[in-house]
A and B are shown apart, each in its own frame.
Chain A
Amino acid sequence: MTGPDEEARSLAFERLMPHPPEKIWRALTQSWLIKEWLMENDFAAALDHRFTFRATPLPGWSGVVNCEVVALEPPRLLAYRWGDGTESDSGLKTLVTWTLTAQDGGTLVRMEQSGFRLQDEHSARRMGGGWPRILERLDQAAGRIETGIIS
């Protein structure tokens, strides 16, 4: 189903880092370096490569991120699918895109995670931040489910 209600949302961060793109590219694409700042992983710099990130599990999340490299243009563009590993329609299916642009004094690093769907957005508004509050708010949430805001 598509339509205005299905519009996906994204998160984006931009930082000017005082390092050349080639060096940042290494930190983004070498498994042992990625582990240093992001998570345990079996990343390889190859198109279509499927890999996982692994972190400490949380309630509601296995700690595994399922990924696939979908764009690789050293040293300026890297993109991988980023999902929560569940195959269900309600599972997280996003795209993480890194763009490196050389600038005076370093590199503009842009990270965008796109593809958060409206239902995730609804969850955000309904639940507020933070896991412990989810249980407390089930009643309220379900009340809105009953009134048809969420289908």
Chain B
Amino acid sequence: MLFAALADPTRRAIFQRLSREGEQTVHAITGHAGVSQPAVSKHLAVLKRAGLVNDRRAGRETHYRARIEGLAPLIDWMSLYGAFWRERLDALEGLLGRMDG
């Protein structure tokens, strides 16, 4: 669902815009998206189902903001953990040096 949500260039642009510029109304997003407001609303619904945006209703406007943590499955875990363990093993050796027997 995440990959599918990001596969569409319009949705990707909306998500990137919300990531960079923070919360925006559907109206404001439509101004930049180059498609109609109903189409934008449809895209936002897909992004929301994929866990990539949150919405908040205020008066007559709905505000959307990016959920960066929704991108977690795209994180490069192997390279993160490669660096992580190297550092932690150094710390383990440091601790062993300070421990008794």
A contact residues vs B (CB 8 Å cutoff) = 9, 11, 13, 15, 17, 19, 23-24, 26-27, 33, 36-38, 59-62, 84, 86, 88, 90-92, 94, 109, 111, 113, 116, 119-121, 123-124, 126-131, 134-135, 138-139, 141-142, 145-146, 150
Contact = CB atoms under 8 A, between A and B. Distances in A.
A124 B94 CA distance: 31
A24 B95 CA distance: 10
B93 interface: yes
Interface in B42-101: 68-69, 71-82, 85-86, 88-89, 91-96, 99, 101
B94 to A, nearest CB: 7
B73 A62 contact: no
Assign chain B's interface to a size class: 35 or more
B93 A60 contact: no
Interface stretch (B4-12, B22-30, B33-41): B4-12
B75 A119 contact: no
B19 A124 contact: no
A109 B47 CA distance: 45
A99 to B, nearest CB: 14
A60 B86 contact: no
Contacts of A138: 6, 12, 15-16
Given A60-B68, A138-B12, A128 B76 contact: yes
Counting from the closest, the 6 A-B pairs by CB-CB distance are: A90-B73, A37-B91, A60-B72, A124-B76, A37-B92, A37-B95
A61 B96 contact: no
Contacts of A127: 74-76
B101 A23 contact: yes
A139 B75 CA distance: 16
B75 A131 contact: yes
